Amino acid sequence: MTTYLVPFTFDNGVELRNRYVMAPMTTYSANPDDTVSDEELAYYEERSYGVGAVITACTYVAASGKGFPGQFAGHTDAYIDSLRKVAQAIHKGGAKAILQIYHGGRKSPRELVPNGDVVSASDTIAADGGKARAVTIEEIQEIVKAFGETTRRAIEAGFDGVEIHGANTYLLQQFFSGFTNKRTDEYGGTLEKRMRFPLEVVAEVNRVKQQYADDSFIVGYRFSPEEPEEEGISLDDTVQLVDRLANEPLGYLHISLGDFRSVAHRYAGEKENRIKIVHRVLDGRIPLIGVGSIYSKKDALEAMETGAELLALGRELLIEPHWVEKMTAGEEVITEMDMTQNNVIPGQMMRMMQSRPGWVPGVK
C-alpha cells in the first residue's frame, strides 16, 4: 500500500506526491452559460488535498461536441477565466490539475449542438436513435485544431496538463472503431487508417504544448480497451493502438474500466486481466493509470498487482473525498455512500447518481 503513497515522477520531471489520481467524472453542474459553477469548484477543491492529481470532467473542444447538459466549456477563449477557476480550486489542495478534453461525436444530445447537427466518423446512429452524419475532411481538420486550441486555453488557465479523451465511445473512439467508422478515405478502412484521427489529435496537442508550454506540461490519453459489437474494437486492436501511443510524446495512458479486475473478452491471447495485458505491451515505455471499482484498502492492494504505475479513484472519492489522507494516516475508510453526510457533491450530480441506483455503492 505504501508504495502507492510515495511520490511518482513522470519522465518530464514532474512529481506527483503519490500514485493516486482522481478519475474524471461528469458533474452535470455547470452554470447555464457553461462556465464552472461554485458547486463544482467546491467539489474539486474538497478532493484535491490527498491525490497526486485531479483529472477533471471532460470539457468539449467544439460546439458540435457537447455531450452533457451542465458541462463546463472550453471551446472558446471566453471560457479561459472559467477554466482558470477550476485549476486554482484543484491547486488549493496541492494536487496537479489535468483538464480532460474531448468531442462527443454521435453521443452528443441533438438539443445541445448547433442546429441539431450530430456528427461522427461515418453516417451512423446518434444517441437519440436518429442520424449522425459523417464529418468531412475539412471538419476533421477543424476538430484536430480545436483540440489544440483547447489545450492552449488549458495552458493559459494554469492547468498542469490535459488528458485527451479517446474512450467511452466518444468521437476519437468512434474513428478507431470499425463499428462506427465505415469511411473509405484516409481516415477509415484499415486499422492504421482508423488510428489516423486520434494520432493527429495527439500530434496537434503536443505541437501546441511545444508552442505555449514547457516540458512540465503533461499530456495523457484515455482509451477503452474493447467494444461488445462484432465489428467494434477488440483488445487486439487496442494493443496495436497503445503500442503506437507509447511511442508518442505522452506523459501517460489511462485505461477506462468499470472494474480493474475485468478480463479480456475479444482477444486472441489468454483471457487475463485487461490492465495486465496493456501494461505488458507498454513494457515500461509510458506509465499506465489503472482504474475501476477501487474502494477499500484490499481493493487497492489487489489493483496494484496489475502493475499499473498509477491508480485512479472515481466513485470512492465521491463516497470518501479524503480517502488518500485517511489511508496515509492508517484510518478506516467507508466504502458505501452515507447519505446523511455532506460530501460536497454538486446537487445535479447527486441527482444523476440517484437516478442510477447502485452505480455508487450506497446510493439508492
Q: Which residues have a catalytic role annotated?
A: 170
Q: Is 342 exposed, middle or buried (0-12, 13-18, 19+ CB in 10 A)?
A: exposed
CA distances from 92 to 26, 45, 50, 86, 151 (A): 21, 6, 11, 10, 22
* 110, three cell numbers: 441533438
Are 159 and 83 contacting, i.e. CB atoms less than 8 angstroms apart?
yes
User: Dihedral angle at the C-alpha atoms of 284, 286, 291, 296, nearest 10 degrees?
Assistant: 50
* 291, three cell numbers: 482504474
Angle between helices 80-92 and 38-46 (to 10 degrees): 30
- Beta strand 59-60 pairing with 96-102: parallel
The Cα 174–Cα 258 span in angstroms is 19
